[in-house]
Chains A and B, each alone.
Chain A
């Protein structure tokens, strides 16, 4: 990729970097609209991982030999790239497996007894289930799929120890006002965790501006490999809090009966980490920086607007607010979401159907599931046209 791309970005050029987009599915060119679940990988990321194993593979830290030093530098460099991407200090960037692990890590190190945790009705299971053994307060959503800010104001009290809210809903696409929520949390002395799984890959993120105490996200949803994710945490906090997993690399000095902890971020990265995955995530961040996160957001906004217009003219039920991230959940009247996804697949179009790991939200909306189309940098209006044509066929073909 060139160093910076003006808008409108050259999507055809971007598409050439993604080998999987050349695949045919059931005789049709692949149209990949399941980016909320995971994104495809450009050759730059695939090659970075290949190159790591071919040229630099060794275990990191403590090795005196050249390969170990080079691997350590590459792995640390990946932390720096991610830190720069979200405007953090590299020591505040902990590599974990995924968003789920990042949130579980926080749930394990915070002392939340005698206090309350505030989440919202639109959380993914990964930002709900880890808190279910605490005193949990769940903030309602409004009819239009936005967070009920009045309810939030009532539920954040002096008893609140943590507010854990998703930045962008993986079902409704709702973009929550995280800066405002963070202020509300801090006013009562509570900590603020943001689930950034659906925001970090899709829009410019600045943890200083957001003023969150923790930010969790996954590498595989932002062009990176699976098995690598990030927990950002404010340095002062992470230095004070106890470690999560204990063992190799997270220690400084060890006696038979006690140990002292390594400096950040290694204090929270026990055992041999996913080194190649970290390097791959670094390459993914390089790619996204080259595209420009403002461009990513604008491209998705344009695709979503285009798709919403098309879907509205088909008369389908659409969930979530007008202003949203790059995804649309909907239902065709009288057709089960799995059937829609199944017949779209026959046309080479990959979408997701079901409850999207948000069963309480589905219950709140009074539905069993939805079809979800979600977009990324390589998607085009031509693909949306094909998708809308296929939906028309399904409406006609499956109506009873």
Chain B
């Protein structure tokens, strides 16, 4: 699928949108453009049993967060921890000028993981 269509599709029909109670969560934002995303994770036995996200911002930040939730659902915590910014950017393939938008959800996920270590 052409990535433009994929971004638009995820922007207009975000997957896994909403909240999970009783799990862990992390938030990240780009203060300058006002993008903000919260990622909720329900972890069972070292696996992401469920994931949801909430937020507001530009199409790329919202679509990227939606794509991220599909990517990590069912995956091991180890997979999430090892995933680098570059790995995720290879997946969403945005132009250089929009990289910070694409990473808001990713950073929220990493912040959620930090709460596990705390």
What CA separation (Å) do A354 and B4 show in the bound complex?
Answer: 22
What CA separation (Å) do A67 and B1 show in the bound complex?
Answer: 61
Q: Chain A residues near B34 (CB, 8 Å)?
A: 336, 368-369
CB of B101 closer than 8 Å to a CB of A = yes
Q: Are B11 and A338 in contact (CB under 8 A)?
A: no
Number of B residues contacting the other chain (C-beta, 8 Å)?
16
Q: Chain B residues near A5 (CB, 8 Å)?
A: none
Interface string of B93-105 (1 = CB under 8 A from A): 0010110010000
What CA separation (Å) do A355 and B34 show in the bound complex?
Answer: 10
CB of B83 closer than 8 Å to a CB of A = no
CB of A398 closer than 8 Å to a CB of B = yes
Q: Are B33 and A336 in contact (CB under 8 A)?
A: yes
What CA separation (Å) do A339 and B11 show in the bound complex?
Answer: 11
Interface string of A313-345 (1 = CB under 8 A from B): 000000000000000000000011111001000
What CA separation (Å) do A66 and B17 show in the bound complex?
Answer: 73
Query: Which of these, B12, B32, B57, B58, contacts A400 with CB under 8 Å?
Result: B12
CB of A6 closer than 8 Å to a CB of B = no
What CA separation (Å) do A354 and B34 show in the bound complex?
Answer: 10
Q: Are A354 and B33 in contact (CB under 8 A)?
A: yes
Q: Are B58 and A355 in contact (CB under 8 A)?
A: no
Q: Chain A residues near B11 (CB, 8 Å)?
A: 398, 400
Q: Are B8 and A336 in contact (CB under 8 A)?
A: no
Q: Chain B residues near A354 (CB, 8 Å)?
A: 32-33
Q: Which residue of B34, B60, B95 has the most chain A CB atoms within 10 A of its CB atom? A: B34
Of all chain B residues, the one with the shortest Cβ separation from A342 is B98
Q: Chain A residues near B59 (CB, 8 Å)?
A: 335-336, 339, 342, 398
Q: Chain B residues near A337 (CB, 8 Å)?
A: 33, 58
CB of A27 closer than 8 Å to a CB of B = no
What CA separation (Å) do A55 and B30 show in the bound complex?
Answer: 49
Q: Which residues from 28 to 78 on chain B have a C-beta closer than 8 Å to any C-beta of chain A?
A: 32-35, 57-60
- New contact pairs (8) apart from A342-B98, A355-B32, A400-B11, CB-CB < 8 Å: A335-B59, A337-B33, A337-B58, A338-B60, A342-B58, A342-B97, A354-B33, A369-B32
| Subset of 29 A-B contacts with CB under 8 Å | A335-B59, A336-B35, A336-B57, A336-B58, A336-B59, A337-B33, A337-B58, A338-B33, A338-B58, A338-B60, A338-B101, A339-B58, A339-B59, A339-B60, A342-B60, A342-B95, A342-B97, A342-B98, A346-B4, A354-B32, A355-B32, A368-B32, A368-B33, A368-B34, A369-B33, A369-B34, A398-B59, A400-B11, A400-B12
**Using a CB–CB distance below 8 Å, which chain A residues touch chain B?**
335-339, 342, 346, 354-355, 368-369, 397-398, 400
